[in-house]
Amino acid sequence: MILKPSNKSDELAEVISFVDDPSFTGLPAHVRKAALARKKGIEGEKYTAHILDRKFFNLGDHALIHDLRIPDGIGGYAQFDHVVLSRLSRTASIFEVKNYGGRLSRNAHDEWMLWYEGRRRPVSIANPLAQVRRQREVLRNWMRDNRHDKAFEQIGVFVIMPPGCEIDRKAVTADFSVYKADNVIAEWNEFGGISPLGKLFSIGVSQGSLRAIGVQLAAAHVPDGKTLHQRLRGTQPAASTQMPAEGTEDRDEAAISVSGPEPELVPPESSEGILVPSPAPARPIKAGEAEALAQGISQKILGDGRIAFFTEPGNEDAAARLAAACEGHGKWNRQYRNWLCDAAAAEIVRACLIADPLAAISGSDPKRRHVEQG
């Protein structure tokens, strides 16, 4: 099931419009180079998203999340191209797309490079596994902080190259999690798949719990807030050296793969470029009627759009279940003895209340070949 769809079609249309604009040729060279690289990178991510969507869109045992950006715990953010949560194999998989051309290789010092036909020297690039390894630690910390580390005990990483990129398998061996896009599903099956016999003995979470965890992870997404123009105009010229800056390559031969954030929400502008005032807020709406949600637990939509969750007086079991579901998602209202959540958080709370408790997870899964763990 797809819990957060890919936005690459919209991003690609935006960058194509930017490149096709007549004023594009008048921009600084480094901005034009970054725009063309971004276009190629988005095309690679869009291609991989299509492959993953076809694999997982109707599989209830797996949750697919595209274009995820969550806090890294040290003041920054980690950007994930694609994440797959699999309940039966109890694995999480991170897919990082690098839309490189040429021939990918590395040396004994773990220095990575791209060779191009007709060139006598390679182009040095950043280690494509370094970023995804950092992402893995951020996701592992998120799972632990939200008490889902038992549900997804292993986190695998997959760096994906386009079909046209040649991989030097004498240097980039099976110990490295680097694969071509058209082969990645077969490689993932070795890690996150599970046999029919294994399904009978799986002690993974239920499909309801999987959806609840996936919705919670998707809700942790923090949009970047910058427009395409802001991101591209903020790029810096590359240093005068034969080695490109980290994440950049030659205009027509390789491209960075940057998962673009969602566009910034700004007030509309008039034809003269003056900000148009937003409409006056509507008067508060009267709160709705109480609605039973689970045994001993009810909800009510408030006039400001928030949702209040509450329990029957004296029902301590229901109060404990509600508190566990709302922890980290809602705010306890001492005066009215209810939990207040916004719409996005309320969806997570409802899913948690309906799903089976995660505390029931125990045991260990059968041995499998691990994806490179760095």
Q: Is 87 in the same domain as 165? A: yes
Question: Token pair of 274, please?
Answer: 């003056």
Question: Exposure of 147 by Cβ count < 10 A (0-12 exposed, 13-18 middle, 19+ buried)?
Answer: middle
Residue 327: give the domain boundaries: 291-356
Residue 285 included in any domain: no
Same domain, 82 and 159: yes
Q: Is 302 part of a structural domain of the chain?
A: yes
Q: Check if the beta carbon of residue 64 is closer than 8 Å to that of residue 57.
A: yes
What is the spatial order of strands in the sheet that 112-115 belongs to?
123-125, 112-115, 103-106, 166-167
Do residues 19 and 100 both lie within one domain?
yes
- Same domain, yes or no: 145 and 26: yes
What sign does the dihedral 187-191-192-198 (CA atoms) show? positive
Coil, strand or helix at 334: coil
Does 242 reside within a domain?
A: no
CATH number at residue 44: 3.40.1350.10
Residue 249 inside a domain? The answer is no
Structural domains of the chain, count: 2
Instruction: Say if residue 69 is in the same domain as residue 208.
Output: yes
pLDDT in tens, the chain (374 residues): 998 988 878 888 888 888 888 887 888 887 888 888 888 888 888 888 888 999 998 888 999 999 999 998 888 889 999 999 998 899 999 999 988 888 899 898 889 999 988 888 888 888 888 888 899 999 999 999 999 988 898 999 999 988 888 899 898 888 888 998 888 898 888 888 877 666 666 778 888 889 999 999 999 998 887 777 666 655 555 443 333 333 333 333 333 333 333 333 333 333 333 344 444 444 444 567 888 888 889 999 887 778 898 998 888 888 888 888 888 788 888 878 898 988 878 888 887 777 644 333 333 333 343 344 44
Same domain, residue pair 176 and 325 = no
**Are residues 102 and 18 part of one domain?**
yes
Q: In whole angstroms, give the CA distance from residue 371 to residue 173.
A: 12
Q: Could you tell me if 217 and 349 lie in one domain?
A: no
Q: What distance in Å separates the CA atoms of residue 284 and residue 281, rounded to the nearest whole number?
A: 9
Same domain, 227 and 316: no
Amino acid identity, position 86:
S
Is position 345 within any domain?
yes
Give this prediction's pTM: 0.62
Is 136 a domain residue?
Answer: yes
- For residue 278, being part of any structural domain is answered with no
Q: Are residues 18 and 111 in the same domain?
A: yes
Ramachandran region, residue 329 (left: φ > 0; alpha: ψ -120 to 50; beta: rest): alpha
Beta-strand relationship, 154-161 and 91-97: parallel
Kindly state whether residues 226 and 327 are assigned to the same domain: no
Q: Which of 212, 233, 254 is the last residue of a domain?
A: 233
Answer yes or no: do 198 and 343 share one domain.
no
Residue 161 lies in a domain: yes
What CATH number is associated with residue 345? 3.30.70
